[in-house]
A and B are shown apart, each in its own frame.
Chain A
Amino acid sequence: MKNTFSAYHPFINLLFYIGAMVFGMILMHPAFLLCSVALAFAYYMALANQKSKYLFRMLVLFLVVAFTNPFFNHSGEKILFIYMNGRVYTLEALCYGMVLAAMFITVITWFASYNIVMTSDKFLYCFGRLLPAVSLLLTMVFRFVPAYKRQIGQIASARKCIGKSTENGTALQKAEHGMAVLSALASWAFEGGIVAADSMRSRGFGSGGRTSFSVYRWESRDRGLLFLMLVLIFGIIGCVAKGGAYAAYTPKIVLAGIDNRYTWMGVIFYGIFLSIPTVVNLAEECKWLILKSKI
């Protein structure tokens, strides 16, 4: 599937992920968690390469975290069994473990799709105006790292010719040869860096304002989505502030019930907010199908 959501403006992408992750870590009510688990996976599965492997790993992680939690947390009323001279394994701690495990795999999954959507250029664009020096620094590092890796390869193969390969000898000798490579890299890198700095200065770096290149344009669809997202975020915060997402697990499970209208309103807002990327992608797909069918 084509990832239309990542074609939106970087600010939209960033705002979505900040919202999804912060709410994902704070909201521990099962209804909210169900929303976030389902929608985080729905979006990532549309983008991922190794779907079944990822799902399997997340399932294992979920089970491990959920079932080990009661070994660390002994509070709770309903005792499932007692082990090792009187320590208790309680139902409440198990439920809490499942909640935390769900939260954990949700955030990991959001990060997995974040790594696909928010490429380094988008990140730099978002902070370029706020922190020009820091983002220029980051840009330079991004450019230098692959160049230096290539240079390390060249230095290492040149040293191989004089019998100082990093592949031979004991671990200590390998480490020593590696250090020599690094040292050679440092001289080369600093000489080049100073030349680059002088070139920057002679082109007027530091003499005034700077513009930065970007390929992003703020379009009307971004404005629409921003408005929707802000409304939903304030809606969720409002519902949470009214106690709609209240959940306590230990020592006694107390949840905000279905009879609480702030709970279901909050869940609806949260569900709509988190389904934005998936819906955007599906809508684009449908639009394309309709356009194709007319030809």
Chain B
Amino acid sequence: MSKEFINNHYYVFSVLIIFIAFAIFCFRFEKKRPQAREMVTLAVMSAIAVAARAAFVMVPHFKPMSGVIMISGMAFGPGAGFLIGSVSAFVSNFMFGQGAWTPWQMLAYGMAGMLGGFLRGRKVLEEKKGLLFIAAYGFVAVVGIVGPILDTSSIFLMPDVNNAEAIAAIYASGLPLNVVHGLATFLTLLLLTRPMLEKLNRIMTKYGVMKRE
């Protein structure tokens, strides 16, 4: 395969790279032979992330999904967070329709879970003042990383991205939506982190699931 061929079909090849990353991840998960309780915990968390929107039908443009995914990352760690995020994105696309954006959404929400996971075990999660830091961290993560990855899927719509001008235009046009998304995440993390983490930690202690190795 020539370099020119790869450059001309950047969309196909970038999706291919994402798929390879997912494949490695999935096979690692398979090899671990997860226990029933672990599987169910992951499934419950993903399903809550997908269904969460139903609790906010009255609040326009409020997407709590990234926030819920980040919280599950904080509780279960970066690896589980990534899995929960990408599974949630994939399943919610079965309801809203799969498309060329699916791999990017899976990657973006997986990253959200992973970024949340980096906070696991840190002191901030217990401190009183830490809550604001966590919420700000979520805002920055969504506006800086998750949102841009979601926007990248539209290089498919804005086809000729061989110059920096076009790429900048794509990310700039996505910024307002990402800020709204980021604010929703900020609010979700601010209000939900404490009650949710308490519950997840209780589940982990009581039933011994998803313990840290």
Contact = CB atoms under 8 A, between A and B. Distances in A.
B157 to A, nearest CB: 7
A65 B157 contact: yes
Contacts of B209: 194
B26 A182 contact: no
A162 B46 CA distance: 29
Interface residues on B, range: 35 or more
A197 B36 contact: yes
Nearest to B72: A186
Range, interface on chain A: 35 or more
Interface string B166-177: 100100000000
Contacts of A153: 54
B40 A200 contact: yes
Nearest to B57: A166
A43 to B, nearest CB: 16
Interface string B24-45: 0011011001111101111110
A191 B167 CA distance: 47
Contacts of A266: none
B8 to A, nearest CB: 8
A103 B56 CA distance: 37
A149 B192 CA distance: 18
A137 interface: yes
Nearest to A170: B59
A273 to B, nearest CB: 18
A201 B35 CA distance: 8
A101 B157 CA distance: 8
B97 A115 contact: yes
A206 B36 CA distance: 7
Contacts, number: 186
B191 interface: yes
Given A174-B59, A175-B62, A183 B195 contact: yes
B119 interface: no
Given A156-B55, A194-B203, A145 B50 contact: yes
A40 interface: no
B208 to A, nearest CB: 10
B212 to A, nearest CB: 18
A72 interface: yes
B39 A111 contact: no
A69 B43 contact: no
A104 interface: yes
Interface stretch (A1-9, A128-136, A230-238): A128-136
Interface in A95-149: 96-97, 100-101, 103-104, 107-108, 111-112, 114-115, 120, 131-134, 136-138, 140-142, 144-145, 147-149
Interface centre among A120, A140, A181 (most CB of B within 10 A): A140
Interface string B158-196: 111111011001000000000000000001100110011
B38 to A, nearest CB: 8
Contact of A111 (B12, B35, B46, B99): B99
Contact of B192 (A107, A182, A194): A182
A104 B46 CA distance: 31
B48 A197 contact: no
Given A134-B30, A182-B48, A193-B43, 14 more contacts: A25-B11, A65-B157, A72-B158, A72-B160, A100-B160, A132-B30, A133-B29, A137-B42, A141-B88, A149-B51, A166-B58, A166-B59, A194-B209, A197-B40
Interface of A: 22, 25-26, 28, 65, 69, 72-73, 93, 96-97, 100-101, 103-104, 107-108, 111-112, 114-115, 120, 131-134, 136-138, 140-142, 144-145, 147-149, 152-153, 156, 166-167, 171-172, 174-176, 178-179, 181-183, 185-187, 189-190, 193-194, 196-198, 200-201, 205-206
Nearest 10 CB-CB pairs, A to B? A144-B47, A140-B43, A100-B159, A148-B51, A197-B40, A197-B36, A200-B36, A197-B37, A193-B44, A178-B55
